[in-house]
Structure 1
């Protein structure tokens, strides 16, 4: 069976079992990820972002850059331990600052794509360049990145991640309309655009 046909039939099957996932005018996509995770970088750059560009007016994108990190508060300060080391913690913090502040949706998602598509998503100079390329002034986020505000933002994303049910055990971890479905996640990792197109009540023209 052709891959696209298999994807479509699989989505239909999921929709029959869990109708709340489907028949929506807007689809919310929640991605739980880490800045240096190679599979997360692949999904963002090759699946999520290209699909978003095609049907962005019909998607609500919720990005949560924390993943399998750990966070504790010691003497009033947040301390993070990330799966891929301190540089990943910095990369997560940089993205947390941009995602939490009131920039335009396109700017936020474009920034995350730029970072995840770069040679080093945990490097300040690359973050400055990605900010500039997406209409974000570095001065509007530098204090967040270098100070405690960014730690607070990242700790919040840690709370959001740790509150998941079922619990996160790997990344990337993908929810549709606030619900985890393993079949949809597997399909989305292979073909995000086709998978999400199957969840609309009325498909955007780009899906046809």
Structure 2
């Protein structure tokens, strides 16, 4: 019983510090976007919120895009193909703007074809052949599985995508704001936010 109480106290302390950190004004913040590359809601968020807001806050955030699906994602399905392609594309570069642009390009058409993958890879200077090789092999499966571990490790668990977190903390009460006004959501955490944050949100 004593050990269980100690674990509970440790967990509460961890939660307290996470909430305190997320409430503070910061010079920069890590933003994690958990999304389904084949999902309509995720597509709307990536193309309408993230893509349009990112340039204004790029220098103030560390962006992590985590493609995954909360439902069944069998190899060969549209959901698997979309998410593994995004995952393998992101692995080709650390440039966050390219991550955003590639995801937007793919999700604007909502079509997972070799032609579309090549178009989006070429327009962002990414190696098409390397993306396809990764996506069709064990490398892609392993990297996508790692995204699954990250998504399933979120506590409290998430039940719909996209889900947006800051500094490793996904706050259920802020999800609607994050999805409908991503720029305003990020600006609220920044100390001396960029001028775009002062515009009407």
TM-score, normalised relative to structure 2: 0.82
Q: CA deviation at 1:151?
A: 0.9
Gaps of 5+ in 2: 1-18
CA contact (8 A) 1:67 1:161 kept: no
1:49 alignment counterpart: 51
2:74 alignment counterpart: 81
Quick check: 1:132 aligned with 2:122?
yes
1:10 alignment counterpart: none
Which of 79, 87, 101 is equivalent to 1:96?
87
Quick check: 1:107 aligned with 2:98?
yes
Quick check: 1:148 aligned with 2:138?
yes
Which of 28, 31, 38 is equivalent to 2:30?
28
1:14 alignment counterpart: none
RMSD: 1.9
Q: CA deviation at 1:103?
A: 4.2
Distance in structure 2 (CA, Å) of the matches to 1:193 and 1:130 = 25
Q: CA deviation at 1:105?
A: 2.0
Q: CA deviation at 1:188?
A: 1.3
Runs of 4+ deviating beyond 6 Å: none
How many pairs align?
180
CA contact (8 A) 1:103 1:136 kept: no
Gaps of 5+ in 1: 1-17, 71-79
Which of 142, 145, 157 is equivalent to 1:167?
157
Q: CA deviation at 1:138?
A: 0.9
Q: Which has the higher contact order (CA 8 A, sep 6+)?
A: 1
Higher percent of residues as strand? 1
Higher percent of residues as helix? 2
CA contact (8 A) 2:92 2:126 kept: no
Distance in structure 2 (CA, Å) of the matches to 1:102 and 1:194 = 28
TM-score, normalised relative to structure 1: 0.80
Distance in structure 2 (CA, Å) of the matches to 1:165 and 1:100 = 26
CA contact (8 A) 2:69 2:79 kept: no
